[in-house]
A and B are shown apart, each in its own frame.
Chain A
């Protein structure tokens, strides 16, 4: 069907409705998980309420208090489920207490915030595998369906359903607590939560070839979670740093692919396409995060500082490479990994020339299966006029997995090296 202005508007309305239902749904779920004491029951109930809401609201319009509507629908369903279970086990308690509980239909904002924070820490509990944490976060906190989570994380729906079921069961029988860690535990637990959110963002960022819209939307979901964390824990420098990092990275989203969906290198991007509002917000947050961590640099704030160097440069040539290399040096003191060393070598090649970068590549270390390493080597060899070696390195990069747009970019470069070689 051709997209007439009318059904475009309907589509926008539909998207906004889905967004609203998901946002409110995760809040209702967070509170219901506490009052029922079961994430599984709460999820089931909210899922049911969400389906009803989408049906009724798109027909009759959004009610004045959407969250109260969802809460009533979800709570009624939860009571049914709990009653049925109670009958099966000859118990009466849970459903009745829920029914009689004085819990307001619209809990105070700070109560909802506490509930969301609990839910976040439960989904990102270190007793769950990282892949399970990301899946749970998308399912429970972002409100994606199991099928959508599977597609977003490149896992077949049946496998994803099994993984989520296993996770819910572990949460229930191993009694993974539904609570916010105390002050002593918080730093370590928070690191885990931030790592999960960052992983989600990268999943989307590196897959933004447009092959699957849902995958690129992961960046939006990760940003939403980072923003939620920032609202819930405004005093945590690492949370502020992560939000700054995601905003600055994501500000380049529109410039990263050309009209044919090809990857555009940072050097060649049309900087007018960068999202100025996101950059401004990211810079402000970065300033706050850096001021809060004067002596102990933060992992995310430091990476955001690198991103800020790019955001501040009017052109690639105007980039302050001295500052970029310095920030990578700081990053190496807290997170010495081959990927950081690789990125530092790229910055060194810009500051001191291709040969200096190539020399630094020697010290990067092993990055098995990581196409960026041979791709960078190829690029530097090409710049040094060593076309045959460059072609070999491009081939090596092409043998490794990458998304379609990246692969096409490498193929173009390979053809050019072969032509000159």
Chain B
């Protein structure tokens, strides 16, 4: 069966490590409920700290070159990646149905992308 990544995008670079409002706590409870409901198709996932904690790595000059790190990415206007799930489903319709139950889909966006199975000889 195909696997999908459900990539979660939200506005405002939220910090889900701090549940300092009743609203955030309620949302987190929704995530807990979703995790339980979707257990059968769930193959993994993670929530990410805000982009302000991210570090961009580039190796200047290609492989073996100098490693340059920088702060960022800077997300002031756009929606940012805040987490993801990995599902195994029969088809895209099923994956979309699960993605629609992710709380972030109700306020932000979830992108469903098929995952490459290198073992299956897919090009």
Q: Tell whether, in the assembled complex, residue B93 and residue A173 are in contact, meaning their CB atoms are under 8 Å apart.
A: no
Interface residues of B in 63-80 (CB under 8 A from A): none
Flag whether A323 is at the interface (Cβ < 8 A). no
Chain B residues positioned under 8 Å from A59 (CB to CB): none
Chain B interface residue count, CB cutoff 8 Å, equals 14
Closest-CB distance, A344 to chain B (whole angstroms): 36
Q: Tell whether, in the assembled complex, residue A177 and residue B93 are in contact, meaning their CB atoms are under 8 Å apart.
A: yes
The binding surface of chain B is classed by DSSP as mixed
Q: Tell whether, in the assembled complex, residue A175 and residue B2 are in contact, meaning their CB atoms are under 8 Å apart.
A: yes
Contact with A175, one of B91, B116, B121 (Cβ below 8 angstroms): B91
A176-B116 Cα distance, complex, nearest whole Å:
15
The number of chain A residues touching the other chain, given as a range, is 10 to 19
Contact with A173, one of B90, B114, B121 (Cβ below 8 angstroms): B114
Flag whether A174 is at the interface (Cβ < 8 A). yes
Flag whether A88 is at the interface (Cβ < 8 A). yes
Chain B residues positioned under 8 Å from A88 (CB to CB): 121
Flag whether A233 is at the interface (Cβ < 8 A). no
A127-B91 Cα distance, complex, nearest whole Å:
12
Contact with A174, one of B90, B92, B120, B121 (Cβ below 8 angstroms): B92
A226-B120 Cα distance, complex, nearest whole Å:
39
Chain B residues positioned under 8 Å from A175 (CB to CB): 2, 90-92, 114
Contact with B along A125-139 (1 / 0, CB 8 A): 101000000000000
Chain A residues positioned under 8 Å from B113 (CB to CB): 174
Q: Tell whether, in the assembled complex, residue B121 and residue A176 are in contact, meaning their CB atoms are under 8 Å apart.
A: no
Chain B residues positioned under 8 Å from A176 (CB to CB): 91-93
Flag whether A419 is at the interface (Cβ < 8 A). no
Flag whether A89 is at the interface (Cβ < 8 A). yes
**CB-nearest residue of chain B relative to A177?**
B91
Q: Tell whether, in the assembled complex, residue B114 and residue A174 are in contact, meaning their CB atoms are under 8 Å apart.
A: yes
Specify which of B90, B93, B113 lies most central, judged by the most chain A CB atoms within 10 Å of its CB: B93
Flag whether B122 is at the interface (Cβ < 8 A). yes
Chain B residues positioned under 8 Å from A125 (CB to CB): 92
Chain B residues positioned under 8 Å from A174 (CB to CB): 2, 4, 92, 112-114
Chain B residues positioned under 8 Å from A90 (CB to CB): 121
Contact with B121, one of A89, A127, A177, A185 (Cβ below 8 angstroms): A89
Q: Interface on B for A, CB 8 Å cutoff?
A: 2, 4, 90-93, 96, 112-114, 116, 120-122
Query: Can you name 12 extra interface pairs (CB under 8 A) apart from A176-B92, A185-B93?
Result: A89-B121, A91-B121, A125-B92, A173-B2, A173-B114, A173-B116, A173-B122, A174-B92, A174-B113, A174-B114, A175-B114, A177-B90
Q: Interface on A for B, CB 8 Å cutoff?
A: 88-91, 125, 127, 173-177, 185
A-B contact pairs, 21 of them (CB 8 A): A88-B121, A89-B120, A89-B121, A90-B121, A91-B121, A125-B92, A127-B92, A173-B114, A173-B122, A174-B2, A174-B92, A174-B112, A174-B114, A175-B2, A175-B91, A175-B114, A176-B91, A176-B92, A176-B93, A177-B92, A185-B93
